[in-house]
Amino acid sequence: MPYFITDQADGCDGWATVKDDGEVMGCHDSKQGAIDQALAIAQAEGSTFEGERSVRELPDNYRPAVSEDVPEGRACGNCVFYNEDRLNEDGVRVWCERWLDWVRGDHYCNAWQPDDDDDDRQVDLTVPEYIQEAAAQGVRYHEEGLSGDGVRAQTVREATLMSRGQVSEDKVVRVSAWAARHRADLDAEGARPGEDGYPTPGAVAHLLWGIPTGARYDDAVAWFDRKSEQVKADRSSSMEVTPVAPRSKGADVEFRSFTGELRQEGDGNTFVGYAAVFNSPSEPLPFIERIAPGAFAKSLRNRKRDIRLYVNHDSNMVLASRNSGTLRLMEDETGLRVEADLPETSAGRDIRELMRTGVVDKMSFGFQVDRRGDMWSEDGT
């Protein structure tokens, strides 16, 4: 079982060494003391020390899947983030890779994603054995204290998964970019096998990222570069989007300016605008998000899935829908262009008047990202 250190363990004022399931193995006055104990236990048991555990609380909407507002079939037990290889000692909870916490299989949260493969996904991420071996060696060197300062716990966790043949599309893209930036690190003496001082911290870092520093270096970099390009190409149609009417600031969605205007066509109830603008930074969520051109292409091609226009993301206040022909969507060079015929309902008349007077001048959109369909900067912002 992997071991971690944390400064947020119950019953410890300072640093603690903890098991993967959260059991506290010892409290320490210093971070180094916790590291020393974690390394000693891991080495004695033939396990791994995976660095500092960052605490990420379960979302407020985590609740039983039988709740009235939970769609049928959406339990943690059939979510892509539910890792049945890591069962809690109580025999009830299983590790959630999204929230880095233990969850029940019969519960749900709104980060739920189906545990199945996308039929449209074409990228084969079978990890070559020499890359798995490099990652495993990097983890061993890290446990021996040879990785130097600055190695993130996330990097060690991802290396451990890579050593088992598991790698995400996001990681493939990040490895390709990281390798290009750090190629010069291997010019130092001791960075290559057989040189005095091997392995340097730079060499260990490469191994943790799945890149051997010897004869297979070029092969590994070429593999990550090739897979990165395939992933980026596949992502051009990876988002499912539902345009929605404006929502109050502070909600956990992107906000986009409504750049169109009410048009006097027919009965005067038609408006046009943009639900999303490409390559434009969102308002802080608290991270900043940018939407790439082509992000909506897959959903726009899928005529079986309806797309609806709501007030305040409220499914009880539908303004228009694609299936009815009252909502028309297309991608252009600016972003996702929306054209809608507003209904003669209370909601339709209200939103029309609010837009006419300028009280409402923004749109936001709700969306679901395909499995591993997002790409994060290295610092997670």
- pLDDT tens track for 65-96: 888 888 777 888 888 778 877 787 777 888 88
The mean pLDDT of the chain is 79
In the chain, what percentage of residues exceed pLDDT 70? 81
CA distance 222 to 372: 21
Task: Look up residue 357 and give its amino acid.
Answer: T
Confidence bin at 195 (pLDDT 50/70/90): very high
Q: Please report the pLDDT score of residue 144 as a whole number.
A: 92
Q: Please report the pLDDT score of residue 369 as a whole number.
A: 67
| Res. 205: pLDDT tops 80 | yes
Q: Please report the pLDDT score of residue 153 as a whole number.
A: 80
Q: Please report the pLDDT score of residue 38 as a whole number.
A: 87
How many angstroms from the chain centroid is the CA of residue 14? 31
339: helix, strand or coil: strand
Confidence bin at 238 (pLDDT 50/70/90): very low
Average pLDDT value for residue range 318-331 = 87
Q: Please report the pLDDT score of residue 217 as a whole number.
A: 94
| Res. 121: pLDDT tops 70 | no
Best CA proximity match to 327, nearest among 348, 341, 316, 314: 341
Average pLDDT value for residue range 178-196 = 91
Confidence bin at 285 (pLDDT 50/70/90): low
How many angstroms from the chain centroid is the CA of residue 207? 23
Best CA proximity match to 194, nearest among 175, 214, 212, 218: 214
- Regarding predicted confidence, which is higher, 70 or 267? 70
| Res. 244: pLDDT tops 70 | no
Average pLDDT value for residue range 28-42 = 88
- Regarding predicted confidence, which is higher, 116 or 14? 14
| Res. 109: pLDDT tops 50 | yes
